[in-house]
Amino acid sequence: MSVKRLFWIVLDSFGCGELPDAADYGDEGSDTLAACAGSKKLDIPNMIKLGLGDIAGVSALPKACPAEGCYGRMGELSRGKDTTTGHWELAGLVSEKPFPTYPHGFPQEVLERLSQAWGRGILCNRPYSGTQVIYDYGREHLETGKLIVYTSADSVLQIAAHEQLVPVPELYRYCEQAREIMRGEHAVGRIIARPFTGSWPDFTRTTNRHDYSLTPPSPTMLDALLGAGLATIGVGKIYDIFAGRAVSECVRTRGNADGMARTAEIAERDFKGLCFVNLVDFDMMYGHRNDVDGYAAALTEFDGWLGEFLSSLREEDAVLITADHGCDPSTPSTDHSREYVPILLAGAPLKAGVDLGTRRSFADAAAACLDMFGVKAETAGESFWDEIKKD
């Protein structure tokens, strides 16, 4: 049985246990799934039915006995643990060289170029929590007009500005200028607009965040699918993560609930190809804020939606659920964590109860996706399509 439509949903940061090299990244012992399993807010019967608790290394959830879906976990070959490298590898592209990070802030020559381009001064220039940075620098920003520039353990340059002082389109323009400046040795994975509103001490980040990623250096799964005449619909951050490359339709969202609603709407349409979805709240709202109960509640909300979504699927539809990295909300760190990511698959064209084990690379999912549609292209992964397809 062939697949006409694949709904690939990335639960941003939902890792399922430390990778063998986690200690190299300061992430030894990280396990986002296990952290959430300890919360009374977690109630995810649909993902458990698909086999989430049956995945190798997962001991914090009950097993399905037997699983109704296909399940497994994937390791990451790319050097990093951020959104860009994770999604690029999911799409078949391994990043051998890590993007630059700035644990001590950006060098002076970079700040001077940015300030000259913007016509504004710069505050902070340190790794910082996104909510804490506007608390600590928001008043000075409003008083001086200087932009709050900060980073994290990931390869990012983030620009925070109050929407009443710096209108969102203007902040976006500053990010576009920064993207042009941050090339070569300073080519960070993402420039991120971080608008906020309110009055001190009650500043609040808005949903007008916008990411400006590097363009993938070589073709990905998306190029191959689009080249074969298939749809490549990006929901949430997908368009931004791939800098628009080979994304046939961009559907921007305002958080998880909106992303799930937009995905359900797309499922009502007739198309052939991929609907690639990123649900960012797990990472942005809960992982980075060390909010275990919030993360668990968000998973519970997704799981409830998933049950309805699965029941609405058509005969030639398939669903793939995975993640792009970890962000264990129970550790002292507020940064991403180097973890395995789960694989859950379901749909009429697929067998049930197939244990895919531990896959070497996120790129295995890209190779399987291409095989689902009968598209030939080179990826860094090994397909598992033959293991899960119905004869």
Q: What residue ranges define each of the domains in the chain, with the CATH number in brackets?
A: 5-96+216-388 (3.40.720.10), 108-213 (3.30.70.1250)
Q: What local confidence, expressed as pLDDT, does residue 238 receive?
A: 97
- Global pTM reads 0.92
Q: What local confidence, expressed as pLDDT, does residue 65 receive?
A: 85
Q: What local confidence, expressed as pLDDT, does residue 308 receive?
A: 98
Q: What local confidence, expressed as pLDDT, does residue 126 receive?
A: 97
What SS3 string covers the chain?
Answer: CCCCEEEEEEECCCCCCECCCHHHHCCCCCCHHHHHHCCCCCCCHHHHHHCHHHCCCCCCCCCCCCCCCEEEEECCCCCCCCHHHHHHHHCCCCCCCCCCCCCCCCCHHHHHHHHHHHCCCEEEEEECCHHHHHHHHHHHHHHHCCEEEEECCCCEEEEEEECCCCCHHHHHHHHHHHHHHCCHHHCCCEEEEEEEECCCCCCEECCCCEEEECCCCCCCHHHHHHHCCCEEEEECCHHHHCCCCCCCEEECCCCHHHHHHHHHHHHCCCCCEEEEEEECHHHHHHHCCCCHHHHHHHHHHHHHHHHHHHHCCCCCEEEEEECCCECCCCCCCCCCECECEEEEEECCCECCCCEEEEECCCHHHHHHHHHHCCCCCCCCCCCCHHHHECC
Q: What local confidence, expressed as pLDDT, does residue 47 receive?
A: 98
Q: What local confidence, expressed as pLDDT, does residue 312 receive?
A: 96
**Stretches in the chain below the pLDDT threshold 70:** 1
Q: What local confidence, expressed as pLDDT, does residue 268 receive?
A: 98
